[in-house]
Structure 1
């Protein structure tokens, strides 16, 4: 296909070493299954020069979990040797010192990056796992029991043939997805209206937000946030705090479903006077109210302030809430007018997965079927195409993909989205993926080592394997 190339065969490829991909690797080390995965051959492919965290640490918001949740991903006795150097890490102690508070995601990112690098170094040195950094997955072909994964490193291409592919390359916010969602509610945006992704805006400092929107505020332009989740209320607060000094007086929040709040227990929710369904809104495993769909910690505080007082956080900026589920004709009419005249529209309606081109061996494209909040996949993250056929051996559970509500994962029955979260990536979500991959490799009797075949001519310039940051040796 590409002319001269190298071809490598292995048991499993982990595509993407961000929070989800690293969650699987953390869990494999913790449970001892890393040795089994490595026995079949394991290659980790990541586009970054420093794999381990993706873009998590870039967000200028607080986490929706307390610090202890992230520490729980590190404290297993089986990981003590690997994580011993963290005892001297300022990043570790910053999170530990606020274990019962929600830390900034930038601080979480710093800690998890250090921990991830320790895990990667460990599995490369001890289990001969291969780490291919600065490497982009460009195409994936499905061929019966194999996936042909085409990758590019500094302009050079190579094919990896693998029986299993765990693919978590992050998520994106597609404006067409927002427009389609609005259209389903009978709402539209003017054709020329720009849509700002919250994923990008939430990475900006207050100073950068002021530089971006100062002219709009000065001209009296209106701001509208679309969505009702953690990111929507984080966006409300960031915009209000940054732009209030410039004269911003109000932000609109357009949301389809009721705003849901998270509580650790039924008793806590009742003590706060929160109305909820004792069956549909309560997780049967944890007893938490709106465990998956509720606003947490800082977003919860902002949400309660908006619901009770109509202002955003500690500012005087008013928040106008408009629910567009069709139950209130006046709110629907107001939302339509707000969208028609909005100067700034901010999309906070979830993610779609970032994917390479997926094809069958005859070159026809494979389109994955989507549902609310992510992909239509089974409990192990195995997706299906638009025709309903499962792509066995392919597993996605990260941002934009997610896992559906499952009794083993735990969630409130009323939650219809997909389950995400660093803790889930490190525990329940990745556990079922590891089990499914190992079962598949055993069933297919994969060879117990990575076998590398050089085809046609060895491409000069491929990096040799050294530490956990370079490619594996190109040929043997």
Structure 2
């Protein structure tokens, strides 16, 4: 039986009684780690531990993954109708560079080969999703064969509460029947993803105009616009319009990815998008592998602080890559590229009225708000059951974690034993991830999660697991 077949079997016949108890009674065994979220970020620390050669030590301490969906691995990445901003080689490297047997077994899997066939180019995220589902199935099989480990698919984590001794009790609910269960662990990893809260739109102004109050009927968030269903809605809204104009608000990778997706839609006559305008506040930077390559292209909008001291890359984190890079370079005429006639870039004035930006918004048939994501954190409680406010819950866009991946409370202090990773977690640049000194945003991306960021969390998990081993020896192997 293959690893994927074994994973399918255990997914339909879970054996979690050893480590999880229904709330009606009993005492669960102490685990090293509970990971909330089985998407790409949730699996990343275990992949990092595998690459470092100590996954067995982490699993020996007991690991549980809680995932609301039917399988682990892809999360929601496959629902987006765009391509990756990482190369195929980078995406496939978690398998192709893997030395652990469960990764070696996937080297020539059809899903791995399909991704790798794109070489140094971008990969459709639907294909990336299928690849990560295969990786998730193989890892699921590994956990299923490890004592004191489990994958709880079809379960939603409700909250995690501090307990005596610095541990955490995480309560989950099974989607099929609503039954509740709880787990106790030395640490909890929040890989709960991000979302785009609608409430944020009510307070966001562009060129002095409140976006939602003024244009709410035609505003769509990028998380919806970047799906096949969202693009279909946009196409439908444009039918019968003379202008067929879409305005995109934002400077993020999602903003440019949305512009690229819209420009790829069929158009002509009275159909499709006639004009796409991107309203951005920050400069649109582009990535280069070296300063020499940038200067050879006539691109000189950088200084010493814009060069990563580790890799030598120009705008390693702030710069657009692959399809988005090509689009921005063409729109700006960098390197002699011809500008696309249906794309317009407009940098919004920050300190004065901007009638041009207001006119673009007024005349647009659809406005896409690409304002980034906020973390979807789990409710965190102290020992008495009171909610612990998190820094990420505050005004603005504060991070959920610090440079050690520790979740921060509302005062900015790390909460012991609580870690976070993934989209919108806010892992800062300028730490072990490298990057250009001028970059002040958060570090995101599959490779970062599986390597630099994943290594930090996997080390926490190793320490927690080693502590479990010492406790079991001193307690005569009696479950805690």
Q: TM-score, normalised by structure 1?
A: 0.84
Are residues 1:53 and 2:68 paired?
no
One of 120, 125, 141 as aligned partner of 1:121: 141
How many angstroms does 1:7 deviate by?
Answer: 5.1
Alpha-carbon distance change, 3 to 435 in structure 1, aligned in 2, over 3 angstroms = closer
Paired position in structure 2 for 1:147: 168
Contact 2:156-2:172 within 8 A present in 1 as well: yes
Paired position in structure 1 for 2:350: 325
Paired position in structure 1 for 2:11: none
Paired position in structure 1 for 2:9: none
Alpha-carbon distance change, 97 to 243 in structure 1, aligned in 2, over 3 angstroms = closer
Alpha-carbon distance change, 17 to 324 in structure 1, aligned in 2, over 3 angstroms = farther
Pick 1 or 2: higher relative contact order, CA cutoff 8 A, min separation 6: 1
Summarize the alignment of residues 65-144 of structure 1 with structure 2, pairs less than 5 Å apart. Answer: 65-76=86-97, 78-79=99-100, 81-126=101-146, 128-143=148-163
One of 360, 363, 367 as aligned partner of 2:389: 367
Are residues 1:356 and 2:378 paired?
yes
Partner Cα separation in structure 2 for residue 339 and residue 419 of structure 1: 31
Alpha-carbon distance change, 247 to 431 in structure 1, aligned in 2, over 3 angstroms = closer
Alpha-carbon distance change, 260 to 374 in structure 1, aligned in 2, over 3 angstroms = farther
Are residues 1:294 and 2:314 paired?
no
Are residues 1:161 and 2:181 paired?
no
How many angstroms does 1:227 deviate by?
Answer: 1.1
Contact 1:227-1:253 within 8 A present in 2 as well: yes
Contact 2:421-2:427 within 8 A present in 1 as well: yes
Residues 433-467 of structure 1: CA deviation (Å, up to 9, x unaligned): 122333356568654799879xxxxxxxxxxxxxx
Paired position in structure 2 for 1:347: 369
Alpha-carbon distance change, 179 to 190 in structure 1, aligned in 2, over 3 angstroms = closer
Partner Cα separation in structure 2 for residue 336 and residue 178 of structure 1: 16
Paired position in structure 2 for 1:416: 440
Contact 2:57-2:465 within 8 A present in 1 as well: no
Are residues 1:435 and 2:456 paired?
no
How many angstroms does 1:272 deviate by?
Answer: 1.3
Q: Structure 2, unaligned stretches of length 5 or more?
A: 1-21
Give SS of 2:347's match: strand
Paired position in structure 1 for 2:421: 397
Alpha-carbon distance change, 41 to 141 in structure 1, aligned in 2, over 3 angstroms = same
Alpha-carbon distance change, 436 to 87 in structure 1, aligned in 2, over 3 angstroms = closer
Give SS of 1:71's match: helix
Q: Structure 1, unaligned stretches of length 5 or more?
A: 454-476
Paired position in structure 2 for 1:244: 267
Paired position in structure 2 for 1:225: 248
Give SS of 2:92's match: helix
Paired position in structure 1 for 2:50: 29
RMSD: 2.9
Give SS of 2:114's match: helix
Paired position in structure 2 for 1:461: none
Alpha-carbon distance change, 403 to 211 in structure 1, aligned in 2, over 3 angstroms = closer
Partner Cα separation in structure 2 for residue 151 and residue 304 of structure 1: 47
Are residues 1:204 and 2:228 paired?
yes
Partner Cα separation in structure 2 for residue 92 and residue 433 of structure 1: 26
Give SS of 1:401's match: coil
How many angstroms does 1:257 deviate by?
Answer: 0.6
**Number of equivalenced pairs:** 443
Residues 108-155 of structure 1: CA deviation (Å, up to 9, x unaligned): 222222122112212321455211111110122234612221101121
Alpha-carbon distance change, 212 to 248 in structure 1, aligned in 2, over 3 angstroms = closer
How many angstroms does 1:388 deviate by?
Answer: 2.5
Residues 262-308 of structure 1: CA deviation (Å, up to 9, x unaligned): 11111111111112333221111011111111110001011112222
One of 274, 280, 303 as aligned partner of 2:305: 280
Partner Cα separation in structure 1 for residue 366 and residue 404 of structure 2: 39
How many angstroms does 1:381 deviate by?
Answer: 1.0
How many angstroms does 1:243 deviate by?
Answer: 6.3
Are residues 1:4 and 2:27 paired?
no
Alpha-carbon distance change, 180 to 383 in structure 1, aligned in 2, over 3 angstroms = farther
Alpha-carbon distance change, 128 to 157 in structure 1, aligned in 2, over 3 angstroms = closer
Alpha-carbon distance change, 217 to 308 in structure 1, aligned in 2, over 3 angstroms = farther
Contact 2:235-2:273 within 8 A present in 1 as well: no
Contact 1:302-1:313 within 8 A present in 2 as well: no
Contact 1:139-1:359 within 8 A present in 2 as well: yes
Q: TM-score, normalised by structure 2?
A: 0.83
Partner Cα separation in structure 1 for residue 252 and residue 356 of structure 2: 21
Give SS of 2:181's match: strand
Partner Cα separation in structure 1 for residue 188 and residue 418 of structure 2: 5
One of 221, 245, 255 as aligned partner of 2:280: 255
Residues 225-271 of structure 1: CA deviation (Å, up to 9, x unaligned): 11112211110122233263315322221111111111111111111
- Shifted more, 46-55 versus 347-356: the winner is 347-356
Partner Cα separation in structure 1 for residue 358 and residue 328 of structure 2: 23
Residues 185-239 of structure 1: CA deviation (Å, up to 9, x unaligned): 744125261432211221216xx62454424442346422111122111101222
